[in-house]
Structure 1
């Protein structure tokens, strides 16, 4: 049986925080397990969901998806984060996670799913194109510090 057939996806649990923190660091966003736990609690209060992928009882990836409402565009469903352990990529976990996010979004009335990818993440661009996403625009993101040194 291939790895893709053995990958299982489930909703996140609080006990996943430490492993999610380790995977987030691989994505370039180091965080403590405590910070991840706090963020999971915040996300639980929003209209969003986090799914994790497991293979051989090891949490090997996660995806976050949110329902967003903007004044100008209305309701959109967006993948706000996705990472699969660097040693476990190309096992079907990424696709399984996206499929779970898509099903969650569709169940809530979504007609499309959006994902943004940093221009330097060429591997992710190929991944998304390979599973049916089409580039719809390129944009710049600006950031301005306005207070606390850390957003937890």
Structure 2
């Protein structure tokens, strides 16, 4: 019987959380991947929550995902550009993208110059929470998609 209770306690009804996630994206004006990174949930979980899975809304949401999402308030997102967080993890993600072959011009599609300067500025011990979320979202997206090509059709010899 305890297993049944424990199993039921790990899932939540997704409707309220879907509305909350959509409101956070809409009011912040940020890409949904950045909001997911700020909440500390996977982009896959956020995508399934917002748009469903295989064309159908999800029927349940893991309680850890629901809790992390509800812990993110609109005020947190508004202050993210001013809230400082340690930069080491973010710098590591940027280094990882460069190591995988992504160049600054390619990354400029997703990141600001200030975000990218973090990779070369070893003296910066902190970055903003918004920078950390943008870099996390960019890393998640680029490492889950095709790897960069050495030459584009315009530059191929």
* TM bucket normalised to smaller: under 0.3
Q: TM-score normalised to the size of structure 1?
A: 0.23
Give the number of the structure whose residues are more often helix, by fraction: 2
TM-score normalised by structure 2 residue count: 0.23
- Name which structure has the greater RCO, CA cutoff 8 Å, separation 6+: 2
In our comparison, the structure showing a higher alpha carbon Rg is 2
